[in-house]
Amino acid sequence: MKSSLSLRLLAAAAVSTIIALVATAFVLNSLFRVYFEDRVQSELNSWVVALTNQTQLDLDGTVSVAELSDPRFAQPLSGYYWQVIPENAQPVLSASFWAQPLDVTVPSQRGVITYSDVTGSDGGAYLAGSWRITLGQNDAEQEIIITVAVDRMSVDVPVSRFAQNVAIAMAVLGVFLVIASWFTVRIGLKPLKTVGSEVNFVKTNPKSRLSTDCAIEVAPLVKEVNDLLDQQEKNVEAARARASTLAHGLKTPLTVMRALAEDLRTSGGAASIPDEIDFQVSSMQHLVERELARTRDQLNSHVMRCEARPVVEKLVNAFQRRAGGEEIEWQIDIPSKMQCPFDEFALTELLGNLIDNATKWTTDRIVISGRNSPDEAFLQVSDNGSGIHEDHLEKVLRRGEHLNRDAAGDGLGLSIVQDMLAQRDIDLSLVNCKEGGLAVRIDWSRHNEVVKPAV
């Protein structure tokens, strides 16, 4: 089941808000109770002192007490009471009393007010402040316990009301905070919705990218998506390039087989034609397998090699059979045992593309030369055509580019050769010949130590 990120964030915000508000309400109620009880105890302290000042011991030993100025102590059942209990006489009670005196624990230390919760004879709870003092002199001295008490409800009711008000306030605040959290989540997730809409736009516009003008937190995601789109575009272009390479690589074997078929129709053919057909079919099979496996055309630890001259001779024979091929003077200047860093299939594709280009531009001569010595190692295809302007030498190496749009071809030959050589870290160079024409050289001099002929 899919979960909503907005719902999860809102739920987390609501739970955390409720916990925070409940904790806040508990702390406020506790602080208010402590504050209110301190205030009541301070009043009790003042009343005990005032009542002590108004207590007198007569000459006959009778204790007389004047009423406190606060009228609540004179109002029956007001919840405010005082009592003075002499050592050897009847207790003196405030006018507000209607039952028996409060049973207050005798303070252990004389002259120090102590506070306690007591229960009256009526079952009510009271908060009392009392102390123990001595009045009179010499033989007339009496120990007196003075107590002032207030009904516990006078403390609990305000605290309870405060708690109710706090609960209402926290509930209202909680609703507000949850709504604010909802707006916060909506605003916070807006950049993600923007990214989502841009991704949908990319679906219909593959060349577009996500905007980098976004929130800092979303920027890494945008960068990753853009990098993924760039990589996907590169993969698509690479796939198209491989398809073009495969199609173009099949052109040479198909051309050779077409020439062989024409030869069979016109003259019955030579005994070597079946072998040449087998070789061309193997070349095409190799090209297809290499593109499907995507491994044969990649550089690896195993260095392939073959003798160059036999492959060149087969290619020259094939191109001679093409229409117009017999009018070209073919020169092969390659040592008979010369090794090159390619297998027969790769060399056939490389030289096939170069020779195919040379036949399009030559006047009447193509020279295929090669060397494999400690000083230089190369294969070169030269023609005596018009050559290429120096400013255009780099342009013709781009995939799909060729200078004469009226000429046959797709402009892929040289770029395919360049891609194959780049994978092997071998150089490709184009040079205009002094006597006219263009020379295309495959140069592996930098890696010549791995392709020296075996002794």
The pLDDT assigned to 301 comes to 42
In 51-180, the DSSP E strands lie at 55-57, 63-65, 80-85, 92-93, 114-119, 125-135, 142-151
The pLDDT assigned to 134 comes to 86
The pLDDT assigned to 388 comes to 86
Question: Over its length of 455 residues, how does the chain's per-residue pLDDT go in tens digits?
Answer: 566 788 888 888 889 999 999 999 999 999 999 999 899 899 999 999 999 888 887 777 788 888 888 888 888 888 888 998 887 778 888 888 877 888 888 888 888 899 888 888 778 888 999 998 888 776 677 888 999 999 888 888 899 999 999 999 999 999 999 999 888 888 877 777 787 787 777 777 777 887 777 777 778 878 888 888 888 888 777 777 777 766 666 776 777 777 776 677 666 556 666 667 767 776 676 666 556 545 444 444 455 789 999 999 999 988 887 766 678 899 999 998 899 998 888 898 889 889 988 988 899 899 999 999 888 999 999 999 888 888 777 777 765 455 553 444 445 567 778 888 888 889 998 988 888 889 999 999 887 754 444 44
Q: What CA–CA distances, in Å, run from 83 to 115, 147, 236, 319, 419?
A: 15, 5, 100, 134, 111
- Choose among 275, 442, 262, 242: nearest CA to 352: 442
Q: What is the 3-state secondary structure (H, E, C) of 26-72?
A: HHHHHHHHHHHHHHHHHHHHHHHHHHHHCEEECCCCCEEECCCCCHH
Instruction: Report how far residue 389's alpha carbon sits from residue 399's, in angstroms, rounded to the nearest whole number.
Output: 18
Q: What CA–CA distances, in Å, run from 328 to 114, 319, 378?
A: 128, 10, 23
Total-model pTM: 0.47
Using CA of residue 375, residue 381, residue 386, residue 387, what is the dihedral sign?
Answer: negative
Q: Which amino acid is at 335?
A: P
Can you read off the two tokens belonging to residue 438?
Answer: 């263009």
**Measured torsion, CA atoms of residues 76, 80, 84, 89, in degrees rounded to the nearest 10:** 30
DSSP string, 89-103: S--EE-TT--SPPP-
Q: How big is the chain by its Cα radius of gyration, in Å? A: 54
What's the number of CA atoms in the CB half-sphere (13 Å) around residue 332? 16
The distance of Cα 369 from the centroid of its chain, to the nearest Å, equals 57
45 touches 114 (CB < 8 A): no
The pLDDT assigned to 299 comes to 41
The pLDDT assigned to 272 comes to 65
Instruction: Report how far residue 95's alpha carbon sits from residue 79's, in angstroms, rounded to the nearest whole number.
Output: 11
Instruction: Report how far residue 146's alpha carbon sits from residue 47's, in angstroms, rounded to the nearest whole number.
Output: 10
* Domains, the chain, ordered by start: 6-171 (3.30.450), 292-450 (3.30.565.10)
Q: Indicate left, alpha or beta for 331 from its phi (over 0: left) and psi (-120 to 50: alpha).
A: beta
DSSP letter assigned to residue 163 = H
The pLDDT assigned to 67 comes to 84
DSSP string, 260-318: HHHHHHHH---TTHHHHHHHHHHHHHHHHHHHHHT-TTS--SSPP-EEHHHHHHHHHHH
For 255, the 3-state DSSP assignment is: helix
Task: Decide: residue 438, CB within 10 A, 0-12 exposed, 13-18 middle, 19+ buried.
Answer: buried
What's the number of CA atoms in the CB half-sphere (13 Å) around residue 319? 27
